[in-house]
Copies of this chain bind each other. A is one copy, B any other.
Amino acid sequence: MTQSIGFTDIDFERTGKQVGFLNLPSSVHDDAWGVVRVPLAVIRNGTGPTVILQGGNHGDEYEGPIVLGELIRDLAPEHINGRLIIVPAINTPAVEAARRVSPLDGLNFNRTFPGDPLGSITQQLSAYVNDVLFPLADAFVDLHSGGSSLSIIPSAIVEPAEDAELAGRIRAAVRAFGAPMTVVISNFGDPRTSTASAVRAGLVTVGTEMAGTGTVSPEAVRICRDGVRNVLVHLGVLEDEVAPASGAAGDMLYAIAGPRSYVMATQAGVFEPYQDLGAAVSAGQPAGRIHFLTDPQRTPEELVHGADGIVYGRRHPGRVKPGNCCVVVASKCEDRS
């Protein structure tokens, strides 16, 4: 297999706490011999499992990187049993730019797995996670928020797994997170996400969606902080005296039911939603309308829901163009675990 040309001063096998960088050589116009530096921390102690904690998959989702930065500053080796590999801002160029996608190659990191160690920088990053980090680990936590375009109910996410036993362990770990909602999301079956890739690698995988809209939600920071610790306690890495007491999530499991769960814009204009997040809706019910602000005589166009459930996510920017996701409905589903 082709190997990454990246290098790091971190020794993944060493006991104790190390904070450093993964360096990917990057030869660009204004820096011929420089590197892209991705912050990386390893805390190792005892014989427990290895857990990768990843933030900054998208560069405009802040709760994960904030909480992982706290962990890096606060945790000492004696607090844990096992190994934490903490990557608080994996897509560093996107985090620096506060953009979902990398400014270096325009790619969405979460659509590049399994990556390419000799590809563009984003492809090199996913290859590093896939080829170097995944083989070291037992579990993977990927902390997302809604990003600049979406407002989402804070929730823990189940990535579907074909293997029933792994699926059960995943579901248990996701429930341990203790989010207000638990949702199964398959991204239309897209195999290029980091969680889909982690599941293929056999890792116990936990995803999240924490509020969003490109801002920092103090409430979502709290949910994320507690949730990460809860998962680490569940996995046996953190001693429970450090873990917070919260996490009384509902029992219900939700899922995005497929294309009909998405209300897509049909016109260019400004979308006015009719329901708040969490509202119960049913198929056929109006979801909002698109206004034509510079053509005030034109009647706004109404959009309707295609599925029964609750309003799980909503577009944040008022401006829409055809195909934009305006509302996402999550439907109740059987928990087969």
Contact = CB atoms under 8 A, between A and B. Distances in A.
9 contacts: A5-B188, A32-B100, A36-B323, A37-B323, A39-B294, A118-B192, A215-B316, A216-B270, A218-B274
Nearest to A106: B105
Interface core residue of A36, A187, A271, A319 (most chain B CB under 10 Å): A319
Nearest to A8: B259
A108 B27 contact: yes
A82 interface: no
Contact of A316 (B35, B41, B192, B213): B213
Interface of A: 5, 7, 9, 19, 23, 25-37, 39, 41, 55-56, 58, 60, 62, 65-66, 68-69, 72-73, 86, 88-89, 92, 95-96, 98-101, 105-106, 108, 110-111, 118, 146-150, 187-192, 213-216, 218, 221, 259, 262, 264, 268, 270-274, 276, 291-297, 299-300, 313, 315-319, 322-325, 328
B216 A272 contact: yes
Tally of this chain's copies: 6
Contacts of A318: 60, 62, 98, 214-216
Among the interface residues A110, A148, A216, which one has the most CB atoms of the partner chain B within 10 A? A216
Nearest to A326: B34
A191 B56 contact: no
Contacts of A148: 29-30, 32
Q: Which 5 A-B pairs have the closest CB atoms?
A: A98-B319, A69-B296, A29-B100, A33-B325, A37-B323
A325 to B, nearest CB: 4
A96 to B, nearest CB: 6
Nearest to A101: B29
> Which of A272, A295, A323 is most buried by chain B, counting CB atoms within 10 A of its CB?
A323
Nearest to A35: B323
Contact of A297 (B19, B28, B31, B190): B19
B187 A89 contact: no
A149 B31 CA distance: 5
B296 A72 contact: yes
B313 A190 contact: no
A262 B33 CA distance: 9
A33 B98 contact: no
